[in-house]
């Protein structure tokens, strides 16, 4: 029996309960978690913005140590340090055949499986495939990547979502070039990673926007050269900070219609906006035809930072070892499993960066 954070139903509060895991079957790996990040995507499952089977063990950003492996697993062995990949690619669907593994149509198929049972026999699904809000988990071998050498394992948990997403939004989706101006909306875990990625890309200026004035120090530590508290005049303020033109690139990490529209308006003529935040179906963004023609801007969706974890983890690890990326600046709170509900409350209130569960 192990402890886990379970979502009983959409709209219900999380419960910390005991669960029973099966032994790993063919092609599966059992992992003892070292750390797991608390991400807005988990919150999106609780409120129904993202719809996956429930009841479920949540958590999708984690790292730990292999306990045992099932038949046919050869790339990791008991005792290995690993990072969880919540969106494994099948390698054979149409997006995968085009090299767009982040759009794999079967990436979340594993979330439909039965993962564990509670003490009373209730069957549980693995939220976003990997069920990282638990002391241990059993996942498909495709969800397991060797942890990069030279990166503390607790910090490596952040590579599984926040860092890959923020880095990819800047380098793969927006394709920020040296000397371009970048504005990042939303100073949470992903936004902080995007700010660091923009700094590595050589962007200037790097502007952070958030509703909370208290996040300025966090943003500047991550690489922001300017900080703007969100208001109705945000696009005007961005233009003042960019020579009257607007930013070359905006990265939206909130997922709200008003923020997406503001990000788009904050870019120059011909500017690029990448939307990372996950919004609900009720969040409608509107444009009129003339402004689309006149401004010539680009608005792009971004899934998982358009990243390929197999390709990108070694790149990120090299930047971390060289000191160009500092994962510790993303973490504003280290908590236990019992602290996850409180961390969800903080996310709803827009407080802090990334909460990291330490097991």
The domains of the chain are located at: 2-147+326-358, 166-303
Q: What pLDDT, on the 0 to 100 scale, is given for residue 321?
A: 95
Residue 353 has pLDDT above 90, yes or no: no
- pLDDT value for 187: 96
CATH class of this structure's domain 2-147+326-358 = alpha beta
pLDDT reported for residue 313? 95
Question: Residue 58: what pLDDT?
Answer: 97
pLDDT digits (tens, 9 = 90+) for 54-66: 999 999 999 999 9
Q: How confident is the model at residue 43 (pLDDT cuts 50, 70, 90)?
A: confident
Instruction: Give the pLDDT band (50/70/90) at residue 47.
Output: confident
Check residue 224 and give its pLDDT. Answer: 98
Place 312 in a pLDDT band, splitting at 50, 70 and 90: very high
**Residue 79 and residue 65 in contact, taking contact as beta carbons nearer than 8 Å:** yes
Q: Specify the pLDDT at position 48.
A: 85
What is the rounded CA–CA span in Å between residue 351 and residue 38? 13
- Whether 277 shows a pLDDT value over 90: the answer reads yes
Mean pLDDT over 261-277 rounds to 98
% of the chain at pLDDT higher than 70: 100
pLDDT-derived band at 338 (thresholds 50, 70, 90) equals very high
CATH of domain 166-303: 3.40.50.720
Q: What is the pLDDT of residues 172-209, one digit of tens each?
A: 999 999 999 999 999 999 999 999 999 999 999 999 99
Question: Taking the model in full, what pTM does it have?
Answer: 0.95
Return the pLDDT at 242: 98
pLDDT band at 315 (very low <50, low <70, confident <90, very high): very high
> Region 100-116: what's the mean pLDDT?
96
Per-residue pLDDT, 350: 82
- Residue 40 binned pLDDT confidence (cut-offs 50, 70, 90): confident
Q: In the predicted model, is pLDDT for residue 167 greater than 90?
A: yes
Q: Which residue has the higher pLDDT, 11 or 6?
A: 6
């Amino acid at each position: 029996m192990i402890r886990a954070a379970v979502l009983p139903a959409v709209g219900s509060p999380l419960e910390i309960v005991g669960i029973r895991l099966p032994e790993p079957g063919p092609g599966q790996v059992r992992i003892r978690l070292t750390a797991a990040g608390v991400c807005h995507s988990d919150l999106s499952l609780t409120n129904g913005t993202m719809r996956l089977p429930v009841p479920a063990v949540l958590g999708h950003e984690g790292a730990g140590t292999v306990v045992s492996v099932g038949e046919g697993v050869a790339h990791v062995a008991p005792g290995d340090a690993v990072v969880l990949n919540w969106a494994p690619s099948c390698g054979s669907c149409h997006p995968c055949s085009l090299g767009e593994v982040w759009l794999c149509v079967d990436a979340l198929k594993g979330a439909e499986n039965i993962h564990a049972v509670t003490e009373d026999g209730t069957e549980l699904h693995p939220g976003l495939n990997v069920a990282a809000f638990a002391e241990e988990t059993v996942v498909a071998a495709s969800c397991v990547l060797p942890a990069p050498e030279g990166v503390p394992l607790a910090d490596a948990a952040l590579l599984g979502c926040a860092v890959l997403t923020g880095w990819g939004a800047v380098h793969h989706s927006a394709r920020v070039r040296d000397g371009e101006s970048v504005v990042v909306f939303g100073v949470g875990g992903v936004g902080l990673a995007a700010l660091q990625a923009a700094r590595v890309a050589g962007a200037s200026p790097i502007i952070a926007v958030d509703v909370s004035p208290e996040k300025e120090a966090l943003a500047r530590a991550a690489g922001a050269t300017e900080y703007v508290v969100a208001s109705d005049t945000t696009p005007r303020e961005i233009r003042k900070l960019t020579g009257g033109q607007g930013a070359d690139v905006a990265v939206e990490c909130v997922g709200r219609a008003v923020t997406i529209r503001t990000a788009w308006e904050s870019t120059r003529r011909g500017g690029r906006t990448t939307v990372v935040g996950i919004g609900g179906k009720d969040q409608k963004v509107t444009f009129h035809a003339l402004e689309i023609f006149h401004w010539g801007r680009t608005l792009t969706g971004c899934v998982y930072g358009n990243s390929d974890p197999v390709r990108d983890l070694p790149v990120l690890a090299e930047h971390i070892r060289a000191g160009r990326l500092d994962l510790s600046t993303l973490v504003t709170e280290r908590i236990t499993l019992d602290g996850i509900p409180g961390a969800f409350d903080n996310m709803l209130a827009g407080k802090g960066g990334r909460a990291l569960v330490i097991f």
